[in-house]
Amino acid sequence: MLSTEAVDRSRWVVSFGSGDCSQSELLGGKGAGLAEMTSLGLPVPPGFTITTDACRAYVANGGQLPEGLMPQVVASIRDLESSAGKCFADPENPLLVSVRSGAVVSMPGMMDTVLNLGINARVAEGIARRTGNGRFALDLHRRFLQMYGNVVLGVDGARFEEIVQDQQRRAGVLCSADLDCDRLGYVVTAFEELISEDTGRQVPNDPWVQLECAIQAVFESWNNRRAVEYRNFHGISHDLATAVNVVAMVYGNLDDQSCTGVCFTRDPATGSRKIFGEYLTNAQGEDIVAGTSTPRDISHLAAEMPEVYRELSDIAGRLEGHYRELQDIEFTVEQGKLYVLQTRAGQRSAKAAVTVAVNMADEGLITRDEALLRVNAGQLDQLLLPTIDESERVKARAEGRLIAQGLAASPGGATGIVAFDADTAVDLSGQGIKVILVRPETSPEDVHGMLVAEGIVTSRGGTTSHAAVVARGLGKPCVAGAERLEVSPARGYLRGRGITVRDGEEITVDGTTGEVFVGTVASTTPDTSGEGDLSRLLQWADEARRLGVWANADNGKDAQIALDMGAEGIGLCRTEHMFFGSTRLSLVREMILSAHGLSRNPDDPDMRGRLKESLARLEEFQTSDFVDIFNVMDGRPVVIRLLDPPLHEFMPDYDELLEQVVELRTRGTDLKSLAEKQSLLSVLDELRESNPMLGLRGCRLGLKFPEIYAMQVRAIARAVSKVSAEGKKVQPEIMVPLVAHGREMARLREALESTIKRYMDDTGAEIEYKIGAMIELPRAALTANEIAESAEFFSFGTNDLTQTVFGFSRDDAEAKFLKVYLEDEILPEDPFKVLDRRGVGQLMRTATMLGRHTRPDITLGICGEHGGDPSSIEFFHAEGLDYVSCSPYRVPAARLAAAHAAIKAASASGSNAPADSTSAQARATNGVAC
Amino acid sequence: MLSTEAVDRSRWVVSFGSGDCSQSELLGGKGAGLAEMTSLGLPVPPGFTITTDACRAYVANGGQLPEGLMPQVVASIRDLESSAGKCFADPENPLLVSVRSGAVVSMPGMMDTVLNLGINARVAEGIARRTGNGRFALDLHRRFLQMYGNVVLGVDGARFEEIVQDQQRRAGVLCSADLDCDRLGYVVTAFEELISEDTGRQVPNDPWVQLECAIQAVFESWNNRRAVEYRNFHGISHDLATAVNVVAMVYGNLDDQSCTGVCFTRDPATGSRKIFGEYLTNAQGEDIVAGTSTPRDISHLAAEMPEVYRELSDIAGRLEGHYRELQDIEFTVEQGKLYVLQTRAGQRSAKAAVTVAVNMADEGLITRDEALLRVNAGQLDQLLLPTIDESERVKARAEGRLIAQGLAASPGGATGIVAFDADTAVDLSGQGIKVILVRPETSPEDVHGMLVAEGIVTSRGGTTSHAAVVARGLGKPCVAGAERLEVSPARGYLRGRGITVRDGEEITVDGTTGEVFVGTVASTTPDTSGEGDLSRLLQWADEARRLGVWANADNGKDAQIALDMGAEGIGLCRTEHMFFGSTRLSLVREMILSAHGLSRNPDDPDMRGRLKESLARLEEFQTSDFVDIFNVMDGRPVVIRLLDPPLHEFMPDYDELLEQVVELRTRGTDLKSLAEKQSLLSVLDELRESNPMLGLRGCRLGLKFPEIYAMQVRAIARAVSKVSAEGKKVQPEIMVPLVAHGREMARLREALESTIKRYMDDTGAEIEYKIGAMIELPRAALTANEIAESAEFFSFGTNDLTQTVFGFSRDDAEAKFLKVYLEDEILPEDPFKVLDRRGVGQLMRTATMLGRHTRPDITLGICGEHGGDPSSIEFFHAEGLDYVSCSPYRVPAARLAAAHAAIKAASASGSNAPADSTSAQARATNGVAC
């Protein structure tokens, strides 16, 4: 809150003629726009703005209008009167005004406005007399009472509507414009009675009192609940405050030569270059919003009022040229005379954003850097994924087909047959049937099912659960943590909101909204017609950015997608994802059981043999997987992470097996099967951990069971040899996960190098490679200088780092407490989505500094979920990382975000001024530096 | 490794007359001692020392004696000849020597020695001639062959013993001293044959070759496996190397006027002031060690050789005075002439350490600070706990009663009847029966059983598992993680090493060694006769230390123990430990179920009522518990931690309940019970977490279920009022656990303060309190400045901080990988026992700095397991913390360790020299700065 002392008390009010658009902090976005248009000589009705300073003073004074304000308002009204040639509160030639809120940052629909202010019974009579149009006068009075009663006195708006609709019903008409004078007169009386009954108060007759109360009401609306929540949600400062615009009324509802409308300077859906909009004849602005009449397409205006249309087109062109941005313009025509009431940057679809930005740059209206900044990186997802049709969604809801509302874990929509386990999903998909995999939660064991599914639904886990992370990586829709959904794989059904869906039935998942529907809800496949524009924009982004953009991919197919999306390397290839599929999984289990057996009894020759055999067979699979990826990436770097997850993730589920054992034991029939299962259960019990995230995983596996990493590294070496022999280049980078101590890294480096050396000695091959560390534990960051002694690169695993820095389990946090934390604003953001700069970021900075201290040319990347988040990318750019790696489908957004970061950083250092978020926000409202 | 370039090649050898005890780095401990005694004029046989430089050069040269060494040795032998009046390798008047290893740091029994070197058949004949004692000559030859064959040529020592024993059997004698010449002659021949058969080599006849090979063998022994392991275990540098002492032989085995012995200057068991030791007539030193003859108590020497005894007493006094430390002296008497062969600081029991230190200070021999430094803080445990008798343990092992070897999780010994669950333990204990609680692992649910048990055994979990931590807190013996022990509570047995123990049978647990025995093994209760000395020493410690020592205690009884042990406050009162006991536990479960229900459906009036009711009843219990503690602590600070553990820890075990449900379901008989259990199971499932350590616990509980903390704080306020009303002072400090973000702390502070204010307003009471944060997550440390805004104190929870900094789950790490890490030296120490200064310590330093930046007078303590660890305490002192808090029974050790830290820090800053660990270790060998 600014100190009221600092405010210039002589200037609570600024007339449209003396402001301009650089003053939006003081005048609000709308006020600054009106002032700017006035100074451009556009036909704006006369008016003035009560400043945001006044609003802040009002709030600071505990809801008292600041001293001196009303006298200045009165003086300004006098100026208005002389411009308009009418007189406020004078029944003979009455001036009516609108009182509109106008915040610095646009908060559409959040705050209040009163139109037609200054009317009372006597003034209405005067208007009727002067215009010869009694119906018009009554209509104005009715509109005023409705808005004032609602906004200033707090009467529920619906109750006014009921009265109007009742009269329409009685009159047999569909629209208030068709009510005759009698009925309108009745409505006015009924409104007055409603207000009096509901509030015990009356609408003041005195226009000056009306004005003062309306100004106060607009100020109050700054802190109404929905406005506060909106600002919280969008991260807008509560100190910005709202201005109030008082404008002479012009009447779109005066007659058939009058109308009101909105238009965009380009098509906000496609971005194409033509005026786009709609209007309503004989109406005021709120009639369009209310949707009670159907407005006509703007193209009809050319026929109806050709002069007006020409002037409007001309003004639209001038405003776009002036603001260098797509404009959303409100206008009113009063008896053939055009007035512009507002202009602002227009909302647009992702597709339009891209096309408009590219076109404007081509037209020379904006620079390429500006074009890049005009497109929000987050929007790009919409361009690349199928989405549920909005109208179909509404219909499906209305039909009661919504069975669950979970977390929007991975965007996009898909329809398919329900499969409750990965194997069924694979079977069905093999028959060409589209499936949706539905599980209580997923684990790496389910990945082969996820690979073939169209979409995924889980009843447990947050937006950073296994299901969500894998789905995003695969670019598949996912709804996670649909907690009220009962999922019973054992009995083959899911149930929610009273609806039961069984095996073989169809559902639709919308990962953009978190909804799950029974049956089909149609979705739109991505409209790639604007692809040319997108790819040009992304080329510009590539030229602008410094940060490399790599992708996470675990197989050749994903690597190809990554490449198509513009990835410059693979920043994370999770070898464990190659361990799934039924043949492989049984080998992995054999490997685990024998390695575990050996760790208990190192001299068991049988176990030794079984381990050797399973590793040898797995090595073949891994080698061929690496060959695929290296072939695709042809010379680009590929970071391969050695085995990371706790081993029990590869084993059958403990609880399920326990159930089987108890069942068999209780029945007492099949003793052989019982004995087998019991023995497996006891091994699973040994493998179980209280906190697997903090357990035997990552490099701890590599150090405890050296054979496993040796096998993986041999597979890499063999794949490199094979692909190199075909004349391709290969740049393998071997990454050791979950390092906490320099000595872990030193030991493993030694072991891995000696394995590769042995391979080279045996085969005569020459293999170039790097070995590096995944920095995902606080201790690794704090001792990065020691780790860098054995690591040629670091890749920050920000998911795990966030887990340990906060002590938040990624799998549990969202459902258990993080939702509450975000709702109650204990945390500003979900740290698994937007990097926590104070904590996690601080450790990254430490690690970057220490790592470079030991090894100045160390390569630094990041491969956590944050690698695809624009705000986090900005931080990574600022911290001087070399690249980010994200899911293939997020690569375009990351390229754009990286460009944004570079452009913003350059402009901040160029202007040499710290970024002022308020004025930046203010500029953003109109996308303009005017 | 020192560079060999740096070594002065002219000085590989130093004679006893030209060295002193300041040179132990160069001469080894033994060599320096011999040199020092020589310079003091004590009767030391002539000799010289081959330096550690020579050994390092030998190792660096790949096992080649450094150039110039042997010529210097030859020259030194010449000097020896002239001192001794004998001639090396000369059969006419032969000089024999001993070749003894002598490392810088004592490594008793780890390295090699050859006595009687220089003998061969001709030399032996010469000795026989000269002494007129053929048997003596044969005995020397036999002894030489045995040691040389073993040490230099590597023949198994047992095979020599077999030959000797065979001859003893044939001769019908019990001791080699009683073998006649014929038999000794046969033994010499048999030894030579054995060596030749076994190694294909012969013992060299040439004494010079013998000497060179023996020197080499001693150098080699520096890197033999047991020596390397010993150094690893004790953290001794592998670069120190060993010296070799070559000493003219004196013969305790010459006749009955000859003997050999060891003596301590004070009683090493009790510390009392009298010479203590034993000797063997007509013997060499190794006969005492071998235990083949029974030595006589030193007191008999006074009668047998009064002159010698007087001289020995005199020398003992001089050496103790000179070294200002209890000495362990080796001596030999040859025909009535006393020789001193070695002196070093004597090992002693904990009791003796205390008594000797206090007495020496009283005698003015050492300062009080030195007295404090003479007692190892870790030893104090022995003084305060019952311990298993060593001889009884050996017997029990021999009887095959050892059923498990687990981790030594909490020291002390105890015997009792096996109880497999907490309730049974409580029942039996109520009947006056001593019990040992045996569980696969423990959870807070078992605490009421642990409270009444004599000792605890678990088959899972490490030395920082729940069982271990609680047991140490209670001062009860605990063996944890006895992995090979099969524990089946359901079927009422435990089984290990083929022995099955059932309900109601007796076992003995030794938490000092990790052993579990079936039946009784007698233990000694603490010998508190030296208590006067201990309490004086601890008073001195209190005067010397700066760091406060507080204790962790959860009830009045423990608080009383803490106070008796000298605690100055309660640094951690875990309120959840008050939640056990069957009445309370069912209330806690009711509270959890209703709070959980409300979080899903906030408007359920039934749930609301149940929550209120259970909280009200728990509040009564908590209030009375707090009253007890406040009463005991009477004005001293009491830090009360609000509820911390994940709620499912209070609930029935999921797997057990699942088993019951499946069993009931399979049987299909008791549907009512099935439905009940199923519904509970589904709630447990909702409460379950993948990684509970990182889940809904700590302040997250307080923020999600505000009623719980409000109840706890109200209970504190009521208890304060009550105790204050009785005229006592109360200093409650309310601690919020698991804070990660300043906003969590701010919110909770506001909520807790308003609860207390409401209580004060309602009752008119005035309550003084502090509110602080437990710093146990990396993010809390990194943002401690923000947290300190709402916290008047910090207490570092180093257990959890270590977990998250390393990403190690405390419950799993030890068994799953930490054991491997420590064995393979990937980690130097268990970070859950000894604070990791580089990682965890660095974050503590950051937090300390940031916390003090915000609030210069913030109180900083630490309440993790490390609060009782001497090495960690040294760090906490250096970091400027205000206090440590540990288990009541570790308070004395902590007081002493805190004094050590202060004294060492003062002396380091006084001498202004960085601590040189090598010379510090060297000095420590003789406890002396000579």
Instruction: Give the residue numbers of B annotated as catalytic, written as ranges.
Output: 466, 863
Comparing alpha-carbon positions, the chain A residue that sits nearest to B646 is A816
The pLDDT assigned to B541 comes to 96
The tens digit of pLDDT for each residue in A512-527 reads 889 999 999 988 766 5
Residues of A in contact with B843 (CB under 8 A): 778, 782
| Least confident interval from A219-223, B566-570, B611-615 | A219-223
* Residue B502 CA to its chain's centroid (Å): 33
DSSP 8-state symbol, B158: H
Q: Comparing C-alpha atoms, which of A450, A388, A378 is closest to residue A413?
A: A388
Q: How confident is the model at residue B392 (pLDDT cuts 50, 70, 90)?
A: confident
* pLDDT higher than 50, residue A919: no
Cross-chain residue pair B804–A800, CB shorter than 8 Å? no
* Least confident span in B407-416, B506-515, B579-588, B879-888: B579-588
Report the chain B residue with the minimal C-alpha distance to residue A746. Answer: B826
Greatest CA span in chain B, whole angstroms?
110
Q: What is the pLDDT of residues A74-94, one digit of tens each?
A: 999 999 999 999 999 999 999
Q: What value does the mean pLDDT take over residues B672-692? A: 91
In this prediction, residue B465 carries a pLDDT of 72
Can you give the pLDDT at residue A1? 39
Residue B515 has pLDDT above 80, yes or no: yes
What rounded mean pLDDT belongs to chain B? Answer: 89
Tokens of A529: 């017609």
- Indicate the pLDDT class of residue A110, thresholds 50, 70 and 90: low
Each residue of B881-895: pLDDT tens digit?
Answer: 999 999 888 899 999
Per-residue model confidence as pLDDT tens digits over B896-905: 999 999 999 9
What is the tens place of the pLDDT at every residue in A153-176?
A: 989 888 998 999 899 899 988 777
User: Residue range B866-879: average pLDDT?
Assistant: 95
Lowest mean pLDDT: which of A25-29, A246-250, A785-789?
A: A25-29
Look at residue B5 in the predicted model and tell me its pLDDT.
40
Count Cβ atoms below 10 Å from residue A570 Cβ, excluding itself: 30
Read off the pLDDT of residues B221-246 as tens digits, 9 standing for 90 and up: 888 877 887 787 677 888 888 999 99
Instruction: State the nearest Cα–Cα gap between A107 and chain B, in angstroms.
Output: 27
Tell me if B694 and A662 make a contact (CB, 8 A cut-off): no
Name chain B contacts of A700, Cβ cutoff 8 Å: 816-817, 821
A-interface mutation test, from B685, B824, B826, B838, most A Cβ less than 10 A away? B826
| d(CA B221, nearest CA chain A) in Å | 27
Task: State residue A924's pLDDT score.
Answer: 40
CA distance A478 to A456: 5
Hey, are the CB atoms on A817 and B741 less than 8 Å from each other? no
User: Mean per-residue pLDDT for A888-895?
Assistant: 92
Contact A839 B778 (CB under 8 A): yes
**Portion of chain A with pLDDT greater than 70, in percent:** 94
Contact list in B for residue A821 (CB cut-off 8 A) is 700, 703
* Of A184-198, A912-926, B771-785, the least confident: A912-926
How far is residue B257's CA from residue B282's CA, in Å, rounded to a whole number?
7
* Mean pLDDT computed over every residue of chain A: 89
A223-237 per-position pLDDT tens digit: 887 788 778 767 788
Q: Please answer yes or no on whether B659 and A662 come within 8 Å at the CB atom.
A: yes
- The pLDDT value given to residue A17: 85
A430/A854: higher pLDDT:
A854
Which is more confidently placed, B531 or B424?
A: B424
User: Is residue B913 scored above 60 in pLDDT?
Assistant: no
H-helix or E-strand spanning residue A333: strand A327-334
Work out the percent of chain B whose per-residue pLDDT is above 70: 94
The confidence score (pLDDT) of residue B576 equals: 84
Torsion, Cα B719 B724 B730 B735, to 10 degrees, reads: 30
Q: Quick check: B659 and A663 CB within 8 A?
A: no
pLDDT at A3: 39
pLDDT at B83: 92
Residue A703: band (very low, low, confident or very high) from pLDDT cuts 50, 70, 90: very high
- The band of B925, judged by pLDDT with boundaries at 50, 70 and 90, is very low
Q: Are A2 and A58 in contact (CB under 8 A)?
A: no
Confidence of residue A116 (pLDDT cuts 50, 70, 90): very high
DSSP A454-517: SEEEESS--TTSHHHHHHHHHT--EEE--TT-EEETTTTEEEETTEEEETT-EEEEETTTTEEE
Give the C-alpha separation, A624 to A719, whole Å: 7
Chain-chain contact of B809 with A694 (C-beta, under 8 angstroms): yes
A741 a catalytic residue: no
Does A71 score more than 50 pLDDT? yes
* B559 close to B629: Cβ distance less than 8 angstroms: yes
Tell me the pLDDT tens digit for each residue of A812-846: 888 889 988 988 889 989 999 999 999 999 999 99
Q: Is the pLDDT of residue B124 over 60?
A: yes
Please give the angle made by the CA atoms of A653, A494 and A684, to the nearest 5 degrees: 5
**B16 has a pLDDT exceeding 50:** yes
Between chain A and chain B, the number of residue pairs with CB atoms below 8 A apart is 198
- The pLDDT, as a whole number, for residue A911 is 53
Report CB contact under 8 Å: A808, B843.
no
* Residue of B743, B812, B822 to mutate, interface with A, max A Cβ within 10 Å: B812
Position A108 scores a pLDDT of 65
The pLDDT score that the predictor gives to residue A178 is 84
Helix (H, G, I), strand (E, B) or coil at B646: coil
Reduce the secondary structure of A383-405 to three states and give it as a string.
Answer: HHCCEECHHHHHHHHHCCCEEEE
Amino acid A613: pLDDT: 95
Regarding beta strands B113-117 and B97-103, do their DSSP bridges make them parallel or antiparallel, or are they unpaired? antiparallel
Q: How confident is the model at residue B353 (pLDDT cuts 50, 70, 90)?
A: very high
Q: Is A238 labeled as catalytic in the residue annotation? A: no
Could you tell me which of A589, A632, A630, A582 has the C-alpha nearest to residue A613?
A589
Q: Which of B817, B823, B830, B835 to mutate to test the interface with A (most CBs of A within 10 A)?
A: B817
Chain A closest-CA separation from residue B817 CA (Å): 6
Which of the pair, B112 or B345, is modelled with greater confidence? B345
Q: Which of A122-126, A598-602, B861-865 has the lowest mean pLDDT?
A: A598-602
Residue A925, pLDDT score: 42
Q: Which of A466, A577, A877, A900 is catalytic?
A: A466
Cβ neighbours of B747 in A, within 8 Å: 824, 826
| pLDDT digits 0-9 by tens, A117-153 | 999 999 999 999 999 999 999 999 999 999 999 989 9
Which pLDDT score is estimated for B452?
Answer: 86
pLDDT at residue number A295: 82
Write down the pLDDT at residue A528. 47
- Tracing tokens 């518990």 back to the chain, one arrives at B625
- Average pLDDT of span A684-692: 90
pLDDT tens digits for range A707-720: 999 999 999 999 99
- CB spacing of A816 vs B741 below 8 angstroms: no
Residue A693 has pLDDT above 50, yes or no: yes
Total-model pTM: 0.81
